[in-house]
């Protein structure tokens, strides 16, 4: 018996189950909730029904928000035409609120960032998940531009939240024009800083 499981979110940096082999690669024709990315890690469990069963039980509890288990082809970077592994298991969701209670529907970048900045779940807060995903994609050599953009937008939301606690800005709230002029100036500086930060240094911004 051989079981292959594809991880594209937290499974990339924290699989949580015993495995024999892992390889970096991608699948085709699927999307993340907030990402077009398809890169991730495939994990293999060989020749042990008990270990395979234990891994599946663990994954079904952990990935309970996904309503489908799908078998896909898995590709490695050096050959995007011939699958490196076939029949890889991946947990997926149907983007339909009526069918999947966890699906929130489409949202703009800033709406998504505000949700991620403040939301949390049984395993922690969503912003840490996003920052860890950003770093995991960097570590496997496949940074995702949208994940980076979203992570920076979340940092802006968090920055604004902390900024509003400063006594200087609390005082300026009584003087709307000066308040918003000062905020705009701060964000202009923040945008310029973000643009010039190298990707290898980005993870120091958290």
Give the residue numbers annotated as catalytic, written as ranges.
63
- Give every CB contact of residue 148 below 8 A, 6+ residues apart in sequence: 134, 199, 202
Cβ(14)–Cβ(58) below 8 Å: no
- Give every CB contact of residue 112 below 8 A, 6+ residues apart in sequence: 34, 150, 153
Query: Which residue, chain included where needed, has tokens 């024009």?
Result: 177
């Amino acid at each position: 018996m051989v079981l292959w499981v594809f991880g594209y979110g937290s499974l990339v940096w924290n699989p949580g189950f015993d495995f024999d082999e892992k390889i970096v690669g991608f699948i085709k024709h699927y999307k993340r909730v907030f990402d077009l990315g398809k890169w991730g890690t495939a994990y293999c469990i060989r020749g042990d029904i008990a270990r395979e069963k234990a891994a599946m039980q663990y994954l079904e509890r952990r990935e309970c928000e996904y309503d489908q288990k799908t078998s896909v082809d898995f590709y490695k970077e050096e050959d995007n035409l011939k699958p490196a592994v076939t029949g890889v298991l991946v947990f997926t969701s149907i983007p339909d609120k009526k069918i999947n209670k966890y699906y929130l529907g489409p949202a703009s970048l800033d709406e998504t960032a505000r949700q991620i900045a403040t939301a949390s779940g049984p395993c922690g807060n969503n912003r840490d998940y996003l920052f860890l995903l950003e770093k995991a994609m960097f570590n496997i050599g496949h940074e995702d531009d949208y994940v980076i953009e979203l992570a920076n937008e979340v940092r802006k939301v968090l920055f604004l939240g902390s900024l509003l606690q400063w006594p200087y800005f609390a005082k300026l709230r009584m003087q709307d024009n000066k308040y918003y002029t000062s905020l705009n100036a701060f964000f202009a500086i923040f945008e310029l800083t973000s643009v010039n930060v190298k990707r290898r240094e980005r993870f120091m911004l958290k």
